[in-house]
Amino acid sequence: MVIQGYPNPGDGLRLHLNENTGGCSPRVLEAIRRVRPSDVSTYPSYGDAVAAAARHFGVDPDWVLLTNGLDEGILMAAVGHIARARVHDAETIVPLPAFDPYPNSTAAVGATAIRVPPGPDFAFPTQAVVGAITPRTRMIFLNTPNNPTGQLIPAADLARISEAAPDAVVLIDEAYIEFGGTTFLPELRRFRNVLVGRTFSKAYGLAGLRVGVVIGQPHVLDPVRVVTLPFNINGVALAALDAALGDEEFLPRYAAQVAESRERLYAACRRLGLQYWPSAGNYVLVRVGDTAPFVAALAARKIHVRDRSRDPITQGCIRITAGMLEHTDAAIEALESVLAARQR
C-alpha cells in the first residue's frame, strides 16, 4: 500500500504528533462555515493575511512569508538558499536529535547534512555547532524548543552561532515557542542571515489546515519567497488564520493546560521510575526501555505515542504529547497499566 504522510494510528487518543489535543478555536470553525462559494472558486489573495500575521509577530509585512505549514517553509528555505543559488558541495548543519525535514530538505537540494550530536542529557552542542561551520555551510537548523527533547537553546547561543556563520542562513525553528521560551523575533533586526520559523499547527490547533510562516529581513527572505509557489495556502486556511489570530483567549488557556499536563507527566514519571526530560514544548520525552512492545501496549489501550527508537540518539524513548488535562490523565493511566503488566 502506498502511504502519504504518516499512517493513521486508528481509534484512540493521538499523542504522537504534538497536535493540539483540544482542537482549534470555535471561532475558526465559525469562520470556515462563513466561507462563500467565491472564496472557493477563486485563487486566494494573501495581502490581508500577511498584514495580520505581520501585526501579530510585530514585524513589517515584507518580513513575512506564509507557507503551507512550516514544513514547506523549511523545504523552500533550502530550495531558495541552496538549490536556486546552485551552490555545489553545500552543507547544512543539523544538531541532533533533529526534526526529520531538516536532513530531508538538505538531501532534496543535493546538499550534505553535517549532523552534530548533543552533549550529555541532550545538552545543546553550541561549541560543536560553531566548530562544524565551514565555507561550505549554507544553512544551520536550530530548533528551540527542540523536538523531541523539549530543551531550549539560550538566546546568546542562537546569536553566537548566527554571528559565527555570516555566509550561511540560520533557520531558527520556533514551532513550539508558544509553550515555553522566548522568541528570537525581536533580535531579527540585528541579524541579516537569520530566518525564524513559526507554525499555527501546534498552539493554535490548525495542523489539518497547514499554515506556517517564515520571518526575516527581506534580503534573506526573498530568495525563499521567489521559489515558493504563488498559491501555496488555500483560501479556507486563510479564513481560519484570521479567526485564530482574532481569538486572544484561546492561546493562553491552552498553554496553561499544556504546562499543567507536563507537570502531571513529570510527576507520573517520577512515581513510575521513568527517566524524563523537562520540556518547554507540548510534549515530554520519556525513556521506557524496549519501546516497540511498550508503544504497542499503549496503542492497545488506545493511547498513541511516538516511538523515538528509530533515531539512535533517542533510543529507548517515547514522546508523549501534553495537551488537555483529561487526555494527559488518560495517558498516565495507560502508562501505569502498561508498567504494571510489564512487572507481572
Binding-site ranges for ligand PLP (CB under 6 A): 18, 69-71, 99, 143, 147, 173, 175, 199, 201, 207, 212
Strand partners, 305: 15
Q: CA-CA distances (angstroms) from residue 249 to 23, 37, 118, 274? A: 14, 30, 37, 35
The SS3 assignment for 215 reads: strand
The distance of closest approach from Cβ of residue 86 to ligand PLP in the complex, given in angstroms and rounded to an integer, is: 27
The dihedral formed by the CA atoms of 77, 126, 137 and 159, expressed in degrees to the nearest 10: 60
Is the Cβ of residue 233 or residue 288 nearer to ligand PLP in the bound state? 233
Is the Cβ of residue 122 or residue 338 nearer to ligand PLP in the bound state? 122
Is the Cβ of residue 157 or residue 173 nearer to ligand PLP in the bound state? 173
**What is the rounded CA–CA span in Å between residue 194 and residue 129?**
16
Question: Quick one: which of 131, 92, 93, 129 has its CA closest to 110?
Answer: 92
Buried b (16+ CB within 10 A) or exposed e, 204-231: bbbbebbbbbbbbbeebbebbeeebeee
C-alpha cell read off for 30 = 465559525
Is the Cβ of residue 207 or residue 227 nearer to ligand PLP in the bound state? 207
Is the Cβ of residue 201 or residue 314 nearer to ligand PLP in the bound state? 201
The distance of closest approach from Cβ of residue 145 to ligand PLP in the complex, given in angstroms and rounded to an integer, is: 8
Q: Which residues contact 331 (CB under 8 A, 6 or more apart)?
A: 13, 15, 265, 298, 303, 305, 320
What ranges make up the beta strands (E) of 123-263?
137-143, 169-173, 194-199, 212-216
The distance of closest approach from Cβ of residue 37 to ligand PLP in the complex, given in angstroms and rounded to an integer, is: 28
Q: Which residues contact 196 (CB under 8 A, 6 or more apart)?
A: 171, 172, 174, 183, 184, 185, 188, 214, 215, 216
What is residue 20's DSSP assignment? -
Is the Cβ of residue 207 or residue 313 nearer to ligand PLP in the bound state? 207
The distance of closest approach from Cβ of residue 19 to ligand PLP in the complex, given in angstroms and rounded to an integer, is: 9
Is the Cβ of residue 169 or residue 338 nearer to ligand PLP in the bound state? 169
The distance of closest approach from Cβ of residue 124 to ligand PLP in the complex, given in angstroms and rounded to an integer, is: 14
Residue number of the CB atom closest to ligand PLP: 69
Is the Cβ of residue 196 or residue 268 nearer to ligand PLP in the bound state? 196
CB 325 within 8 A of CB 264: yes
The distance of closest approach from Cβ of residue 202 to ligand PLP in the complex, given in angstroms and rounded to an integer, is: 7
What is residue 169's DSSP assignment? E
The distance of closest approach from Cβ of residue 278 to ligand PLP in the complex, given in angstroms and rounded to an integer, is: 18
Q: CA-CA distances (angstroms) from residue 113 to 100, 101, 128? A: 11, 11, 14
